[in-house]
Amino acid sequence: MRAIFQFTRGNNTGIRGQSGALLLCTRLWESRAFLVPYLLMLVLVALPLFLLESAIGQFSSSSCIGIFSACPVFRGAGIAATIVNFLQTGYYTTLVAYPLLFIYHSLRRELPWTSCDNEWNTDHCTRTRADFVENKTENGTQTVVSSADEFFHNEVLKISSGVGEVGGLVWPVVGAVLFTWVIIFLANFKGVRVLGKVVWLTATFPYVMLTILLIRGVTLPGAWDGIYFYIYPNFDKLKQPKVWAAAAVQIFFSMTPGYGVLTTMSSHNKFRSSSMRTAKIVPIVCAMTSIFVGFVVFSVLGFMAHRLGTTVDKVTAAGSGLAFIIYPEALSLMPLAPLWCVLFFLMLFFVGIDSCFGVVESLLTVVTSEFPQIRSWRGCVTFAICSVIFLGNGVIYSQAGIYWLTLVDWYVSSFTATLNCLCELLVFSFIYGVGRTIRDLQMMTNKTVSYFWYATWLVITPVLTVVSIFVNMVLNYGPASYDGRRLPDWAQGVGWLTACASILAIPGYFVYYLAVHTKGSVAQRLAQGLSPTAAWGPAEEECRAHWERYCALHPLRHRLLHPNSSGAALSPPETVPLGRP
């Protein structure tokens, strides 16, 4: 259980979580009151979804597809999550590999992004961000580019002029990504027990590095100006719906509900493990980590602004620029800059690869669950999955790779995950019934589930999820762009097709199941598709027998009512045996 806790914590502070932390910093910079809706969404959306996915995964010992044996017509939601994980892993491993290239370039006395006399620099290069800020034309067009910006785009990415100009492969990126996949394979092919031991290191090390960076950051001149800028609120922004919608998206992005990873990892728990305790702790730890990262980042940005004689808002940037351009430039101004750069990018690599561990394990669990005859060939299956994803994402290792990475991330990531969460809530709160779900959880943990969780699963979380989808589609959703440049229409079309590959799995399987796996009239087919199959329930025979007996002793007045609403209490252990711990 401890290993699973470390894994889920590492996964949620991984590449999604750490990117989410940097995005949180950006949101705080833009709205200055983003923390208020973020924390509310944490309590009302993230915590309930995290507990729900953890509970049903542990209860059924099933993958993100297998849990929908409770309502088989919705198995398409699990398939959609699997497709998203397959698509995302390709470009996430590329993001994870970028810090390796920065580590390599940091192993020298003078950091290469601090000068303009390198072969990749142009005539527009400037060494200081102060010059970069000041040298803009009146209409906002940049006349100069920072040396750190040119290093990232011209040397690391070797970026082309557009998404259609693929160019050749960037071989340093290919090598770094291949090295990353080798580590992922070695960590996953022996199973979750070995993976749990690896995660103890990869999930803990970043916290040590963050603490070291924070201690060093707050001792720098100007650091507290950056921290004040970070935490000073602007409550007028709370009146804007898009701020609340963005907070919901940030929750889905950083806490990873709807991706199937939480369900998969919880399926490896012992049946009697305290999933409720873990589900309460992990999201809070992840949220606090995101906020903690903000202090680390803005303390150094405050120092950077102090050194350049400007204000913090003029040295801040959004997106990947914060991690790969602005922060490396800020670190280069510190004493012993190469050391701090190595530590920072090593931390990014560790937190990133944690997330990749989780996604690959989720894919492995899905494949071996759907095709149990290959379960004994885990090593070969792991190698096949890693190889297919690595070889299938060659375009992301090209000179146009960053454009394709942005395109897939924009269209595939958050919307499908939010839709999957909505399907989970629809199934386990309304169709299977929140009363049954709570009864199953109480039987599994032998603890009472409070009415707070009942209210969130039945009303609050579904409503907020629907509202966030609608508001984001209306206010925040637009065409994909990179570095302020809108990608062409044909690329947007490719992005939509990629998104449809996962989204259409939900209605597609719904129709397929009713047509192929059921018989009778339309009403009869629908009733069969919305009813639990024989596969639903605890996997172990002893636990299943206890569950069936518990359900018989605790009939529900209605599947939408809390099982304790009739005054029934939990049966003592001697009435319903607890089974194996």
Cα within 13 Å of Cα(69), Cβ side: 18
d(CA 527, CA 49) in angstroms, rounded, equals 26
d(CA 352, CA 96) in angstroms, rounded, equals 5
Map tokens 């044996």 to a residue: 69
Residue type, 26: T
Q: How far is CA 198 from CA 6, 14, 145, 183, in A?
A: 10, 14, 41, 10
3-state secondary structure of 216: helix
Residue pair 422/469 in contact by the 8 Å Cβ criterion: yes
Phi, psi of 259 (to 5 degrees): -95, -10
Which segments of 189-318 does DSSP mark as H helices, in order?
192-218, 223-231, 241-255, 261-266, 275-308
Q: Identify which of 210, 223, 239 has the alpha carbon closest to the alpha carbon of residue 36.
A: 239
Ligand-binding site membership of 354 (annotated): yes
Q: Identify which of 404, 345, 397 has the alpha carbon closest to the alpha carbon of residue 113.
A: 345
3-state secondary structure of 64: coil
Q: Pull the structure tokens for residue 412.
A: 């595939």
DSSP 14: S
d(CA 60, CA 434) in angstroms, rounded, equals 16
355 contact partners, CB below 8 Å, separation of at least 6: 10, 11, 14, 15, 16, 17, 92, 96, 256
Ligand-binding site membership of 266 (annotated): no
Residue pair 230/214 in contact by the 8 Å Cβ criterion: no
d(CA 217, CA 207) in angstroms, rounded, equals 15
d(CA 398, CA 174) in angstroms, rounded, equals 9
d(CA 111, CA 102) in angstroms, rounded, equals 10
d(CA 530, CA 71) in angstroms, rounded, equals 5
d(CA 542, CA 562) in angstroms, rounded, equals 26
d(CA 130, CA 182) in angstroms, rounded, equals 41
Which segments of 426-480 does DSSP mark as H helices, in order?
434-445, 451-455, 461-471
Ligand-binding site membership of 376 (annotated): no
140 contact partners, CB below 8 Å, separation of at least 6: none
> Which positions make up the binding site for Na(+)?
254, 354-355
> Which positions make up the binding site?
254, 354-355
